[in-house]
Amino acid sequence: MARATVESDGLKIRQGSRQLQLQLDPDSNGSKIGFNLPFCSCSAGCGPNTTDIDESESLKPSVWNLIPYKNILWVDHPSNALIEDELEITYTKPVGNSGEIGVVRLLVQVETKRNNDSSSSIIDNEGSINGTNSNSQYHDPNDLVKSIMSKAYKDSKPQPRLLVLTNPKSGQGKSIKFFTSQVEPILIGARCDYKLMKTEYSGHAIQIAQEIDLDEFDIIVCASGDGLPHEVINGFYQREDRAEAFSKIVVTQVPCGSGNAMSLSCLNTLVPSLATLEMLKGRIVRTDLMVMCQEGHSPKLSFLSQTYGIIAEADIGTEWMRFLGSARFEIGVLQRVLGHARYPCSIAFKYVTRSKNQLNDFYKKNYNKKEDVSVKLTEDDFKLKYFDTMDLNPESHFGSPSSSLFGESTASLPESSSSPTPTDPENWEWFDQQTCDNLAIFYSGKMPYISKDTNFFPAALRNDGTIDIVLTDSRTNLRATCDALFSLDKGLHVWKDEVYHFKVEAFKVIPMLPDGKKSFISVDGESFPFQGFQVELLSGIMKTIMSDGEFKETGFLEKI
Ligand SMILES: Nc1ncnc2c1ncn2[C@@H]1O[C@H](COP(=O)(O)OP(=O)(O)OP(=O)(O)O)[C@@H](O)[C@H]1O
């Protein structure tokens, strides 16, 4: 049997004199060690799952292998154990080169005495570490199990009750395969109680979120693209007891779609199996949401972004190029940048920061702001400040909308002593109209990464009460624009002089294309009616999970 010692950073395991006690996968030819997990609790009746681990990667005799606590899904003292200090450990380990992880389960005998190997330690009665020479031993294996489990789930609770929503159409139809091959084995390994529901039509997740019993689940896991979390939060928003829904239920995503910005920004990965582990081990936090308001439509929640101009065109206007995969987006952007495409509009902001210096100071002050996730929301938390006074008719503000109001454009507006007071609905400030007449990109967001290698909002903070704005002018010379676009992976574009970058608490965009032409407005990657829109913020409304409690690192702090 394998032998184990308990260390401060995980369990150290090595193969003992006897063979590892793994159940052999009946389908394998013996060249692989695998196992069947017989305890699937999935209501869809998906049956047992198998994860194969290549033998060459399994434990080597006489070598201590560290299993970090974070990788441990479950530890148990089997009721039929032959010896008192026998534990069954279920943990994850990398498989292949794609960043995926698989599940391993094995029986180990825990060593309680220091041996000659300096890398091993001794455990005391509470299962805590004692690196010194001592004869202390644990007496009750259940204490040891408890101790290891509390370290394995130091930021979260084991066995959350999950509602898993999956969209069979997401990710070009691959989402179910991702779920069964990568997500489900981890859930089963962690003994999670989960219910799987497949969405049957667009809007189905809205209905599910509107109707679920709030006492039945702790977390809704969207095994999809960004479309399902967008629907789930809107389903909650339409409930009469929405304050309770958002207070009780965590919304998260494991990446099984084409656009997976939530998972990348919050769980730090685009690999479904790894995201599932992060989801189980990460910290529950609160994040702000945005409210998208358009005349003639009820307000909709948005967790990610709103965009008009080149990005919206490249996202939604290139649907016909789907056969190109994700390249369609880059091609769409490039085509329009080279053609100096412009999207005239008028834009007004409720500024929180105007200049890049102000933004940096704000960022430093609000970075790593903690909050109490157990505080219950009330209906007051959903009150909109600017909806009742929404006016998206530019002529009611300044007559002829295309007249230039502010003269020459500057990428950082001059610092103003008369900064708008947050509660004054009159204090909207219209952005330089010459720039708006020549707008190339308008992009507003709440999460830093919008796709792989695209750190579009590096200064986004989950609960700072602001929306990040990135805006560009089509008159900018091509070289500077391309330079900015090639800096997106590291988030360095926002430092370029040609790129406007603000934090605001609300904004409005009124498209004014010539001759009644139409373009696109994209919200969380979904197409919205092409008309004026106003967006404001709801502070700390959504409970979600983030690795280490914060967004994926963007590198912004180091640049300040
Ligand atoms: N069974 C279904 N058939 C068709 N559409 C669906 C179904 N279930 C959900 N949808 C819709 O599909 C949209 C996109 O889903 P999702 O974001 O999960 O996938 P995706 O592959 O990332 O999407 P996209 O291809 O739009 O980028 C959702 O917003 C939802 O409205």
Ligand 1 pocket test target in 164, 166, 170, 324 with most atoms within 8 Å of CB:
170
Q: What is the DSSP letter of 498?
A: T
Separation of 174 CA from ligand 1 center, angstroms? 12
**Strand bridging mode 467-473 / 439-445:** antiparallel
Amino acid identity at 553: E
Atom of ligand 1 at shortest distance to CA of 168?
A: 1
Separation of 289 CA from ligand 1 center, angstroms? 21
Are 125 and 146 within 8 A, CB to CB?
no
Ligand 1 pocket test target in 202, 208, 260 with most atoms within 8 Å of CB:
202
| Alpha carbon distance, N-terminus to C-terminus of the chain | 53
Q: Quick one: three-class SS letters along 73-109?
A: EEEECCCCCCCCCEEEEEEEEECCCCCCEEEEEEEEE
- The C-alpha angle with vertex 215 and arms to 276 and 164, in degrees rounded to 5, equals 25
Distance between CA atoms of residues 392 and 405, nearest Å: 17
Q: pLDDT tens digits for the chain (560 residues)?
A: 677 777 778 888 776 534 333 322 233 332 222 333 333 333 333 333 434 444 334 566 667 788 899 999 999 988 777 777 788 999 999 988 889 999 998 888 877 544 444 333 333 333 333 333 333 345 577 888 998 999 999 999 999 999 999 999 987 788 999 999 999 999 999 999 999 999 999 999 999 999 999 999 999 999 999 999 999 999 999 999 999 999 999 999 999 998 899 999 999 999 999 999 999 999 999 999 999 999 999 999 999 999 999 988 887 766 665 555 566 667 777 778 777 889 999 999 999 999 999 999 999 999 988 889 999 999 999 999 998 888 887 666 655 444 333 333 345 443 433 333 344 456 789 999 999 999 999 999 999 999 888 899 999 999 999 999 999 999 988 778 888 877 888 899 999 999 999 999 999 999 999 887 889 999 999 999 999 999 999 999 999 999 999 999 999 998 88
Q: At what angle do helices 204-211 and 227-237 cross, to 10 degrees?
A: 40
Residue written as token pair 């409005």 = 508
Query: What's the number of CA atoms in the CB half-sphere (13 Å) around residue 291?
Result: 23
Atom of ligand 1 at shortest distance to CA of 260?
A: 22
CATH level 3 topology of 161-281: Rossmann fold (3.40.50)
pLDDT of residue 81: 76
Amino acid identity at 413: L
Domain-wise residue ranges, the chain? 2-152, 161-281, 299-534+553-559
Separation of 169 CA from ligand 1 center, angstroms? 6
Atom of ligand 1 at shortest distance to CA of 205?
A: 9
Number of H helices, E strands in the chain: 16, 25
Phi and psi for 199 in degrees, rounded to 5? -75, 140
**Which residues are within 8 A (CB) of 384 and not within 5 positions of it... i.e. 6 or more apart?**
291, 293, 299, 536
pLDDT of residue 96: 81
Amino acid identity at 329: F
Amino acid identity at 110: V
**Which residues are within 8 A (CB) of 176 and not within 5 positions of it... i.e. 6 or more apart?**
166, 168, 198
Separation of 205 CA from ligand 1 center, angstroms? 10
Are 476 and 310 within 8 A, CB to CB?
no
pLDDT of residue 61: 62
List, as one string, the DSSP characters of 449-493: -SBTTB---TT--TTSS-EEEEEEETTS-HHHHHHHHTTGGGTGG
Distance between CA atoms of residues 415 and 46, nearest Å: 60
Ligand 1 pocket test target in 164, 165, 167 with most atoms within 8 Å of CB:
167
Q: Could you report the predicted ipTM of this complex, rounded to two decimals?
A: 0.97
Active site residues: 226
Distance between alpha carbon 548 and the CA centroid of its chain, in Å?
Answer: 12
Distance between CA atoms of residues 36 and 52, nearest Å: 9
CATH match of 299-534+553-559 with 1.10.510.10: no
Beta-carbon neighbour count of residue 140 at 10 Å?
A: 13
Residues with CB under 6 A from ligand 1: 167-171, 199-204, 224-228, 231, 257-259, 525-526
Determine the length of the chain. 560
pLDDT of residue 118: 39
Distance between CA atoms of residues 403 and 414, nearest Å: 21
> Residue 171 corresponds to which tokens in the numbers above?
């990710």
